[in-house]
Amino acid sequence: MSTQSLKENQINSSGDVIQAGLKTTTTRQPLGPLKNSSAIKQQATAIPPSVQNQQKEQQLQKRVLQLEAELKQERALREKQVSELTTHNQLLESSLLYYTQVENTAKINNNRVRQINKLHIEKNELLEQVSNLKQKIDILESDQVNKLDMTLNNKRIRKIHQLNNENKQLIEVVQMQKQELVKLSQRVNTSSSPSTSTTTISNPSPSKINYSNFISHRSIPTTSDYGLGDDHLPGEC
């Protein structure tokens, strides 16, 4: 027989005794197994179920209160951690934004520096091109001046040769006129030799000399530009 059955038999027997009161006769109960002293002590100190339930309820309430307190502490701790994490995230976002701005600024500055260097290189190239163009212009101008000087010099040389030739021709004409004068003087002398009178023969004046023979064969320019044409420069001679 189990321990619970023994307890129930004991409770029933004690209840019968209490209910009997002052009765002199009691009903005979069946004999159960012999109980040792320890079982009797446990029966004497046994707690009623209602008390046990009340104690359990109190323990449960106490446990609930304890769990609620732990839950509140846990919630407070979690809220604190969430707040700290939020603050940390904000700091990280601020740092990220700052470093992003710094990186963008650095990129912009690097692009500006590269652009400035590129402009400097282009400027130097343009200056070099301008210098080369100036040198070419100077060379062309000097060549043009040299060509003009050469042209003028050639014209002057040709004119000098022309004048020299004209002078030679004039000298020849003068020589021819002199020879004619000599011949005329000889004719005059021969024609006047029978007479006794002496006739003085004077050289004919240049205005009486006949230049028709020479002029008909030679044309002398009325104007002279001394080697300068229509393209001469002012101040040149």
Which pLDDT belongs to residue 9? Answer: 53
At position 17, the amino acid (one-letter code) is V
- Spell out the long-range contacts of 212-215 with Cβ–Cβ below 8 A and sequence spacing 24 or more: 214/173, 214/176
96 occurs within a structural domain: yes
Helix (H) or strand (E) holding 21: none
Contacts of 71 (CB under 8 A, 6+ apart): none
Q: Are residues 88 and 140 in the same domain?
A: yes
185 occurs within a structural domain: no
pLDDT under 70: residue ranges of the chain: 1-46, 193-237
pTM greater than 0.85 (yes/no): no
Q: Are residues 42 and 78 in the same domain?
A: no
Which pLDDT belongs to residue 29? Answer: 53
- Which tokens hold the place of 62? 């106490």
89 occurs within a structural domain: yes
Side-chain-side CA neighbours of 214 within 13 Å: the count stands at 15
Number of compact structural domains in the chain: 2
Q: Are residues 133 and 64 in the same domain?
A: yes
Which pLDDT belongs to residue 18? Answer: 41
Give the range of the structural domain holding residue 121, as residue numbers without chain letter. Answer: 60-162
Which pLDDT belongs to residue 193? Answer: 62
212 occurs within a structural domain: no
184 occurs within a structural domain: no
Q: Are residues 64 and 155 in the same domain?
A: yes
Contacts of 81 (CB under 8 A, 6+ apart): none
- List C-alpha distances in Å: 214 to 139, 184, 220, 230: 51, 18, 11, 31
